[in-house]
Every structure is written in structure tokens, then in C-alpha cells.
Amino acid sequence: MKFTLGLGSRAWRVSWEQAAAAAAVGPGAGGALGSSSLRVSCRRGPRLARALPLCLSGGGGARALPDCSGPSHRRSGARQLAGPRAMEQTYGEVNQLGGVFVNGRPLPNAIRLRIVELAQLGIRPCDISRQLRVSHGCVSKILARYNETGSILPGAIGGSKPRVTTPNVVKHIRDYKQGDPGIFAWEIRDRLLADGVCDKYNVPSVSSISRILRNKIGSLAQPGPYEASKQPPPQPALPYNHIYQYPYPSPVSPTGTKMGSHPGVPGSAGHVSIPRSWPSAHSVSNILGIRTFMEQTGALSGGEGAAYSPKMEDWAGVNRAAFPASPTVNGLEKPALEADIKYTQSASSLSAVGGFLPACAYPASNQHSVYSAPAASYLSPGPPWPPAQGPPLAPHGAGVAVHGGELAAAMTFKHPSREGNPRGRHCWKSRCFALFQPSTMEQCLLVDYHLSRAKM
């Protein structure tokens, strides 16, 4: 197990145990690392290489980095983490502050939550950075995102940018062109907006419209690729609203009724517009909305364990039934479903401060195994936090003791019919997270670790 240990401007790859030790002693405690071969990984090219000599001579004096023998010095991805040997194959890095992170992967929601939480308590970002051992750039980014969107969650990673020139849009462009052959591209663009075919977030650019006119519509006599008589493939006309879960304004009424829809344009929610009233897992109000819905459905009645009744197996489906969403929506279904199943949690973990997001909303399916590591070692103890009073959201040391046996019990939620179904895995795993409600990164990691060992 290797880490890239960054101290100063260094990026050293060290073993997990060494990195954990380094994190435990804190960034200022040099020389605590084990002794063996030193490997330096200059991730940042000349910049880092330039800084390297300085770093090597600074701080805690001579530092010997531990044995780096292993399968490969090449950084591995989280994909290698699955399986029983996940613990041995987990990679991570330690930043300048001694905090552990996984390059390319979001910080656990527990940390993101705590960043926002501390900020709301009036703690300066620089102090938050030091406290949580997260780079100030990251703290700044998370806070900025939170201020902008009300969400602490990371954005959607991966995937392709949804097309804006959907068949429906092309059809309308064709219609406009047929109605007025002299129409300009910018006029088409305005009409798409005016008619509600698109909104400002997914309206094609003028150049795109020109390209459509040139390539797809070129000759109006020719039947286009998206003939009206054909059944157009279901296309999300406003995918960003959903995939990215940002509170973008949408030309949709809160009831899901598409406003100003063009005649002939299907107005189903599956078509475009995911109503912003949908309880997005990324927003405060939507989290609360989920809670309300769960309470209404009685899913939260009883204790925490009872909160996840077998009915919860169809939690996503229940939500889908309660809101206008089409099962035929491609591209929208998965994000929506994952948002449902990954970020649900019981009401008891909701914040009293303002509900950015409960820590246990750790997106298990998205981040699972990334931080798979002995949780106690993952996060260095660091300075006591919070200094005075307990945090309002995630009681430090709440001590969600997660043991394999308990996980096994939790895993009884795993529905046999969903074996092999990623969504099923997401579903039951997310319930495991929700059941234990890890409110700290350690707890998240502990849950995740046991889930990994459970050969999910």
C-alpha cells in the first residue's frame, strides 16, 4: 500500500502505514517516518522538481521515506480497490498539511460537511484548512460551491457532456427554417428559448445551429435524420439540470409542468425538465424534501434500524412514482436514481445548523473503496475539533462503532433480486451507510472498509 506523501512541496510515495503515521504525528513532526528507501515522485513536473531540493532540506531534518517496494510505483486508481485485497491495494496521498486524500476523487462528504459547518461557525477558511488538513484551495472551492449551490456534494464525475442538439431541437430548427428560410441562426436560437424548447443552459450555440442547418438540414427537401414520423429517441433536453444537480433555473414549474412548451413537444418530465422541486440530494431544501417525503411515507418511523424497511428497497422507485419522471428517460434515469439511493439518509442525521448535507450521505457507490483503509489511520487525529463545543452536525467522536458483524446485519438489506445489479448494490450499500450514519470521515471509512471486506 503506497501513498504519495507530500510534505512541503514534496510528493513522496510511502506505504499506507507510514503515511498514517505521518498523518498521525502531524505535518510538523518530521522524522517520524520509517526508514528505508526514498522515492520521490515529482507529480508536477518542473515546478515541483524545482521546489524539491528546498523541501528535502527543510522541515524536520533528514527524512527517510519508507520502503516503496510494491507492485508498481505508478499510481493506481480506485478501481483496483475492489475485492478482498482492497486494503492492500489502496492508494492515497498525504498533502502538505498531513491530510490524506485520493487524487482525482472527492473528499468524503463528512469532510466536506465539516468544512461548511466550520465556515458557518465563523471559522476562517485558512483555519478550516489547517484544522481538517485539507488544502485551502479545496476549502475555498467547496465553500464557494456551497455558497453558490447550497450543496456540499461534488459534481458529477465522468460521463460525457449531454448533447444539446437533441432530435427534438433539430426538429424545431428544421421547422423554423421551413417556416422562414431566411431566418438567422441567432433568431432560431432566440425562438428555441422563447418557445421553451431549450433554456439558456442547454440552448445550442449559434454556431451549433449553423452547423445543424448546414449538415443536418442543409436541404429542406431531404428528410432529416430525425424525421418527425420516427419515434425520436428519448432525449433529455435539459440534462444538466439533473446530472449536475445544481439549482439552475428551469423553465419548468414546480409541479413539473413544462412551461411554454412548444406545440408538439412532449412535456413529460422525462423529456426535459427535471423539476427543480425534485428533492435533489445536492441541495439543502431538497435534502429536507427527501426527509419530508420519507416521513410521509413512514419510512422513517421507528428506530434507525427500522427506518430502512424492506420498502426502502424501492425507495428510488417510490420517489419516481411521486414525481413526474419517465422511466424511458435515458441519461437522466441513472443520475436521478443514484441521487436517490446514494444520498438518502435518515432524518436523525440531518443538520440542525442548516442542512448542507448529513455526513452519512457519503456516496457509497461513487466513492466506495476509494478511501478503503483502516479508518482509524485514515484521518490523523490532528488538533482537537471542535475546540470548544461539539459540532452541531457531526458530533465528533460520536463513535459509530461499526464492526463486521454489524455490517453483516446491515447487509441483510441486500436484496437477492438485486444481486449483480449495480443499482442494487448501491441501494443496499447506501443503506448500510445510512444505517450507521457515519458522521466523520473515520466512520465513513470504517463502514466502507467493512463493506469492501464483505466482497460487495
Partner DNA sequence: GCCGTGACGGTTGAA
Partner DNA sequence: TATTCAACCGTCACG
Work out which of 144, 194, 220, 408 binds DNA, going by CB under 7 A.
144
Q: Is 370 in the site for DNA (CB under 7 A)?
A: yes
Work out which of 266, 331, 392, 395 binds DNA, going by CB under 7 A.
331
Q: Is 244 in the site for DNA (CB under 7 A)?
A: yes
Q: Is 357 in the site for DNA (CB under 7 A)?
A: no
If the CB atoms of residues 175 and 338 are measured against DNA, the closer one turns out to be 338
Q: Is 114 in the site for DNA (CB under 7 A)?
A: no
State residue 115 phi and psi, 5-degree precision. Answer: -60, -50
Report d(CA 290, CA 218) in Å as an integer: 48
Strands annotated E in 95-178:
100-101
Q: Is 150 in the site for DNA (CB under 7 A)?
A: no
CB contact at 8 A, 159 and 243: yes
Total of residues contacting DNA (CB under 7 A): 58
Choose the binding region for DNA from 61-69, 257-265, 273-281, 328-336 (rule: CB under 7 A): 328-336
Q: Is 268 in the site for DNA (CB under 7 A)?
A: no
CB contact at 8 A, 188 and 209: yes
User: What is the identity of the amino acid at 147?
Assistant: N
If the CB atoms of residues 217 and 329 are measured against DNA, the closer one turns out to be 329
Instruction: Give min distance, CB of 244 to DNA, in A.
Output: 6
Reduced to 3 states (helix: H, G, I; strand: E, B; else coil), residue 258 is strand
Q: What is the dihedral of CA 444, 445, 451, 454, to 10 degrees?
A: -150
Nearest Cα residue to 372 out of 41, 9, 77, 98: 77
Choose the binding region for DNA from 13-21, 128-136, 372-380, 448-456 (rule: CB under 7 A): 128-136
What cell numbers appear for 213 in the block? 442547418
Which strands form 100-101's sheet, in the order they lie side by side?
Answer: 12-15, 2-5, 92-94, 100-101
Instruction: Give min distance, CB of 133 to DNA, in A.
Output: 7
Instruction: Give the x-and-dash track for 284-323 against DNA (CB under 7 A).
Output: ----------------------------------------
Reduced to 3 states (helix: H, G, I; strand: E, B; else coil), residue 124 is coil
Instruction: Give min distance, CB of 188 to DNA, in A.
Output: 22
Choose the binding region for DNA from 141-149, 320-328, 382-390, 404-412 (rule: CB under 7 A): 141-149
Report d(CA 382, CA 274) in Å as an integer: 43
Report d(CA 189, CA 186) in Å as an integer: 5
What cell numbers appear for 291 in the block? 426527509
Q: Is 56 in the site for DNA (CB under 7 A)?
A: no
Choose the binding region for DNA from 62-70, 136-144, 169-177, 183-191 (rule: CB under 7 A): 136-144
Report d(CA 320, CA 326) in Å as an integer: 8
Instruction: Give min distance, CB of 27 to DNA, in A.
Output: 10
Work out which of 135, 277, 326, 377 binds DNA, going by CB under 7 A.
135
Q: Is 367 left (phi over 0), alpha (psi -120 to 50) or beta?
A: alpha
Residue 224 makes CB contacts below 8 A (sequence gap 6+) with: 170, 171, 174, 216, 217
Choose the binding region for DNA from 16-24, 98-106, 198-206, 317-325 (rule: CB under 7 A): 98-106
Work out which of 17, 67, 127, 406 binds DNA, going by CB under 7 A.
127
Residue 85 makes CB contacts below 8 A (sequence gap 6+) with: none
If the CB atoms of residues 40 and 299 are measured against DNA, the closer one turns out to be 40
Work out which of 116, 138, 170, 203 binds DNA, going by CB under 7 A.
138
Query: CA angle at residue 216 from 215 to 219, to 5 degrees?
Result: 90
Work out which of 57, 64, 124, 255 binds DNA, going by CB under 7 A.
124
If the CB atoms of residues 162 and 175 are measured against DNA, the closer one turns out to be 162
Choose the binding region for DNA from 6-14, 193-201, 219-227, 374-382 (rule: CB under 7 A): 6-14
State residue 253 phi and psi, 5-degree precision. Answer: -75, 160
Nearest Cα residue to 442 out of 111, 41, 50: 111
- Contacts with DNA, residue ranges (CB under 7 A): 6, 8-9, 11, 43-45, 47-48, 50-51, 75-79, 93, 95-97, 99, 101-107, 112, 124-127, 134-138, 140-142, 144-145, 154-162, 244, 330-331, 334, 366, 370
